[in-house]
Amino acid sequence: MNTQEMIGLCKQYTMYTWAKGEAVSPLPIETAEGVYLYTPDGERILDFNSQLMSVNIGHGHPRVIEAMKRQIDELIYVFPGSATPVRARVGKLLSEIVPDPINRFFFTLGGAEANENAIRAARLYTGRSKILSRYRSYHGGTNLCMQLTGDPRRWANEPGTPGIIRVLDPRPYDYSFGESDEEKTRNNLVYLEEVIQYEGPETIAAMIIETVTGTNGILAPPEGYLRGLRELLDRHGILLICDEVMCGFGRTGKMFAFEHGGIVPDILTMAKGLTSSYIPLGCMGLCDKIAAHFDSNVFWGGLTYNSHALALATAEAVIEVLREEKLVENAARLEEVMRREMDRLTEKHPSVKEGRCIGLFGMIDIQKNSSGEASAPYNGSSPAMAALAKAFRDNHLFTFVRWSSFMCNPPLCITEEELLEGFAIIDRCLDVTDRAFEG
């Protein structure tokens, strides 16, 4: 089958996500290794987004593939009511790498199901029903997760389930006027407490946040926000759920992003980096007090593929690679290189408004004029951003271009040299948006 036939069949017989079928132009990929993808025609493409911000250890790691093969020979699947050696090992392993008091885990197929079960656990534990979430967020494609989601993917899925209250993030969408971290934290928490008061604190089960907002901006919380939020929610008996589906497993330079803020949530959700997407797996982690509640109360949730043996063996091998190859430390070390490159590009290219990163989790915003106006509107595109996306593709760099920004999220195994190679390509491509800059 040649490349065009392959693309034609994929488009004819399979549906693509979040898109009109006729508008889709799929990237043909045959193999992948480390930080590179290879097309059937032998083109090598640098993966600057870890696919869906998820292949944290890089592509095709032999040790993980070996572990998956071993598990296939031993045991692939048994029903969720079983005890298996791999389930025993991975439960214990997660309790070691996730900070206390989170020590009990429920396995799902992906991030959305982890969030669905986190909301279920919070509601059953507190006996309350409302959930707070933030506008700049994505929490998954199921009905409930679409309602938790603030970004425009929610709109076509409304009206959904009642009882979800969305609030603003600490960082305003148009951040040009600037506020100190301290002001952002204070202003947002004062506002949030007022929302809680109007909604009735005793009606709110939990607040769910992406600890570091991913797709909607790569926004690390301002200084003091996580501690302040934790304290505010505690005061009202509201649980904190950290969705670390994207920002967990080393992406931010720590194993979990909440570790930057000196807090631990009541419930943690994980997926993507948990298996580096080698196979689907998600997970909800519960703190001891909630876990104890479900020792004497039914947890009304279940899945055919809960605790799937092959998926768990994959997670075990991926976590071993992350730890032994010190990939979390690599992400922390290369943050400085990424930031330096972003500063250099901001200095050099008038169309670059700002670059920001935490670990190897980064984004660059593009402006169309010197007053900082975005090159493309919220939920829209522009000829300049479309041309930038084409330039990345023509220059053998894979990343996501979204609205007026683009992602810089390479696999955590990237070397400094490969990272610089990526930024050299970006540097060349930014001439496209500079040409559209209106001054």
Ligand X SMILES: Cc1ncc(COP(=O)(O)O)c(C=O)c1O
Tell me the closest approach of the beta carbon of residue 52 to ligand X, in angstroms: 6
Report the residue closest to ligand X, judged by CB.
111
What contacts 234, CB < 8 A, 6 or more positions away?
none
Tell me the closest approach of the beta carbon of residue 141 to ligand X, in angstroms: 6
Distance CA 157, CA 176 (A): 32
Distance CA 409, CA 162 (A): 35
- Closer CB to ligand X, 84 or 137, in the complex: 137
Tell me the closest approach of the beta carbon of residue 214 to ligand X, in angstroms: 5
Tell me the closest approach of the beta carbon of residue 216 to ligand X, in angstroms: 9
Tell me the closest approach of the beta carbon of residue 142 to ligand X, in angstroms: 7
Phi, psi dihedral angles at 42 (to 5 degrees): 85, 10
Tell me the closest approach of the beta carbon of residue 98 to ligand X, in angstroms: 17
- Closer CB to ligand X, 204 or 270, in the complex: 270
Helix (H, G, I), strand (E, B) or coil at 100: coil
- Closer CB to ligand X, 112 or 432, in the complex: 112
Using only the alpha carbons of the chain, give its radius of gyration: 22
Distance CA 120, CA 293 (A): 13
B/e letters for 346-380, b = 16+ CB within 10 Å, e = fewer, are: beebbbbbbbbbbbbbbbbbbbbeeeeebbbeeee
- Closer CB to ligand X, 273 or 353, in the complex: 273
Residue with tokens 């425009």: 152
Helix (H, G, I), strand (E, B) or coil at 167: strand
Residue with tokens 């034609």: 8
- Closer CB to ligand X, 108 or 433, in the complex: 108
Half-sphere exposure at residue 143, Cβ-oriented, CA atoms within 13 angstroms = 5
Angle in degrees, 0-180, between the axes of helices 416-429 and 383-394, rounded to the nearest 10: 140
- Closer CB to ligand X, 58 or 282, in the complex: 282
- Closer CB to ligand X, 94 or 112, in the complex: 112
Tell me the closest approach of the beta carbon of residue 395 to ligand X, in angstroms: 26
Tell me the closest approach of the beta carbon of residue 243 to ligand X, in angstroms: 5
- Closer CB to ligand X, 58 or 111, in the complex: 111
Tell me the closest approach of the beta carbon of residue 212 to ligand X, in angstroms: 9
- Closer CB to ligand X, 215 or 399, in the complex: 215
Tell me the closest approach of the beta carbon of residue 50 to ligand X, in angstroms: 12
Nearest residue to 228 via CA among 180, 267, 191: 191
Distance CA 270, CA 108 (A): 10
The residues of the shown chain that bind ligand X, judged by CB under 6 A, are 52, 110-112, 115, 138-140, 210, 214-215, 243, 245-246, 271, 282
H or E element at residue 183: helix 181-199
- Closer CB to ligand X, 265 or 282, in the complex: 282
Tell me the closest approach of the beta carbon of residue 1 to ligand X, in angstroms: 28
Phi, psi dihedral angles at 270 (to 5 degrees): -140, 160
Distance CA 247, CA 233 (A): 22
Q: What is the DSSP string of 77-96?
A: ---TT---HHHHHHHHHHHH
Tell me the closest approach of the beta carbon of residue 131 to ligand X, in angstroms: 14
List beta partners, residue 366. Answer: 352
Laid out side by side, the sheet with 239-243 consists of: 102-108, 282-287, 267-270, 239-243, 204-210, 130-134, 164-167
- Closer CB to ligand X, 267 or 384, in the complex: 267
List beta partners, residue 269. Answer: 243, 284
Residue ranges with strand state E in 257-312:
267-270, 282-287
The single-letter code of the amino acid at 60 is G
- Closer CB to ligand X, 52 or 387, in the complex: 52
